[in-house]
Amino acid sequence: MNELFERLSAESRERLREQPSPAWSEPTLATLVHEPFSHSDWLFEPKLDGERCLIVRHGDRVDVLSRSRKPLDRTYPEIVAAVPRLVEPDCVLDGEVVAFDGELTSFARLQQRMQLVDEESTPSNIAIRCYLFDVLHLAGYDTTGLPLRDRKKLLSSAVEFADPLRWTPYEDTDGEQYHQRACARGWEGTLAKDATAPYEHGRSRSWLKFKCVASQELVIGGFTEPTGSRPDLGALLVGYYEGDNLAYAGKVGTGFDEATLEDLRKRLDRLEREHNPFAEEVREHGAHWVAPELVAQISFTEWTRDGKLRHPSYQGLRRDKQPSEVTREHGK
């Protein structure tokens, strides 16, 4: 067996399964909850405000994929270039691509890199980093059956951490104080991960997320015309799915700069349609309806009693989630 596994106990090595290198593996998705906690069997990590990715290296081939399996190689070429010199040749890694605004990760800033493959957009020189936090396959073995603590050991051996690849720091045991410090520093939130659990594909309760500021993805179903001196559009009309119905969540009129307004108007004009896509009547003067194909990240203070957003602000478009997957997040 490869020397990379020497740090594992005999019991853990028995959990490894020989497997050819996969081209794809569905990532774990964290479940939103509201009450931070402390536990000796859990690890606590920063919730990064970026774009989830899988890095797949098989020999000389390197693929960077979004959580919906879209290729990101052209968007983040520096990651592709770094992997052959920093990562073991047979490896699947889980991580998050981020851009910084000062000391904080910023999804709005990352937007300028996420549009690099769009022919209508100008490439940006904004620096990105990829924070790695898990390994799903290594040296001919499926590692997902191992507990998280063992996968962390393998990750530290499989990667030589140098920019743009970074180790994701974590803390043991005291999740409540960790979350308090994170919010005080202006972070988006924190994650709690069961250190004894295997890697689960899809939505999982062995990974939990706690937010400092409310935010979630919402589907754009329309927009309004601008007023005053504002160019291109006034507000986005957004919603989320309840079964097959698109529920209206309100309008979002802040968080845009002029370049964003121009880009959004071009995209939305191509999607314009005659009929309201929302399940309820929406009374907005000068509303334009669009096919519900774009997903936006929206921050807000809270949900109102009638299911609308309070003080929403636009953060950017997401390309790593299908509109039909967007539902209202309820913490438990």
List active site positions: 47
User: What residues form DSSP beta bridges with 115?
Assistant: none
DSSP 63-130: EEE-TT--B-TTT-HHHHHHHHHHB-SEEEEEEEEE-EETTEE-HHHHHHHHTTT-TTSPP-----EE
Helix (H) or strand (E) holding 156: helix 148-158
295 close to 89: Cβ distance less than 8 angstroms: no
Among residues 297, 305, 279, 282, the alpha carbon closest in space to that of 52 is found at: 297
Among residues 168, 199, 187, the alpha carbon closest in space to that of 36 is found at: 187
Helix (H) or strand (E) holding 179: helix 175-184
User: What residues form DSSP beta bridges with 56?
Assistant: 63, 92
- Bond preceding residue 84 cis, omega within 30 of 0: no
